[in-house]
Amino acid sequence: MAAFAREVWDRITSTQPAPSPTVILATAGLAALLVLTPRVWPFVRHAITLVHEGSHATVAVLTGRRLAGIRLHSDTSGLTVSVGRPRGPGMVATAAAGYLGPGVLGLGAAWLTSRGHAVAVLWVLLLMLVGVLIQIRNWFGLWSVLVTGSALVAVTWWAPEVWQSATAYTITWFLLLGATRPVLELLAHRGPGSDADVLARLTHLPALGWVLVFGAGTVGAAVLGGSLLLADHVR
């Protein structure tokens, strides 16, 4: 067991050379296709929903709320239930975390990959999935997390290093770009129970203002994260 733990730690802390500019641009192009292709987006959007709900859950715990469970649904919607004060900064932060979470996670992943820790990104995502798995409360959510986790385990454990790096770059680009599309969907089809409406009831900022905050945050993360991935590699 100790030898296994050391091997895992060595893999997490090891560095990998940056891919060629061609690979970096190719992974960006692949991620953009996943986000922009109408027939593909409904499938890959489940991954963004998973991060969205995981972000709600993480911030809820960090602000002292008690997490009661996470549900992921086949229509790409989700629900995270936490218990605590119905108003106040903790509730506001928890409600705001969902739409901002994928972009923030993508920005963190971009920082790691830009410093040669592409494989560490995959392991961080695996650890996050384990945390979500513990809180899943429905069968579709369980299936989604297990399928995603199995794919990550296969890549981190058996794929060649070059494919691990390419996968980490693709996931990072996907998080950065994919975080923006749900905000556009929210702007076009905002329902009365959306995070923006919840925040409007909790604060003095109207729902549209919160949608604009989500848009600014996700676009800003995409621009900054993309510049990190491209810096010193693409001239």
Is residue 105 in a domain?
yes
Give me 179's structure tokens.
Answer: 């975080």
155 Cα distance to chain centroid: 18
Is residue 10 in a domain?
no
Rounded to the nearest 10 degrees, the angle between the axes of helix 21-36 and helix 41-62 is 100
Structural domain of 103: 22-230
Is residue 80 in a domain?
yes
pLDDT value, residue 192: 77
pLDDT digits (tens, 9 = 90+) for 82-120: 999 889 999 999 999 999 999 999 999 999 999 999 999
Is residue 141 in a domain?
yes
pLDDT band at 41 (very low <50, low <70, confident <90, very high): very high
Share of the chain above pLDDT 90, in %: 82
pLDDT value, residue 233: 59
pTM listed for this prediction: 0.95
Is residue 176 in a domain?
yes
Q: What share of the chain is helix, strand, coil (3-state, %, to 5)?
A: 75, 5, 20
Q: What is the mean pLDDT of the chain?
A: 93
Phi, psi (degrees; rounded to nearest 5) at 69: 145, 160
Is residue 60 in a domain?
yes
CB atoms under 10 Å from CB of 91, counted, come to 20
106 Cα distance to chain centroid: 6
pLDDT value, residue 190: 74
Is residue 2 in a domain?
no
CA–CA gap between residue 59 and residue 70 (Å, rounded) = 13
pLDDT value, residue 232: 56
For the chain, the domain total comes to: 1
Is residue 43 in a domain?
yes
Residue with more model confidence, 171 or 8 = 171
* Residues 58-86, mean pLDDT to the nearest whole number: 95
pLDDT value, residue 225: 97
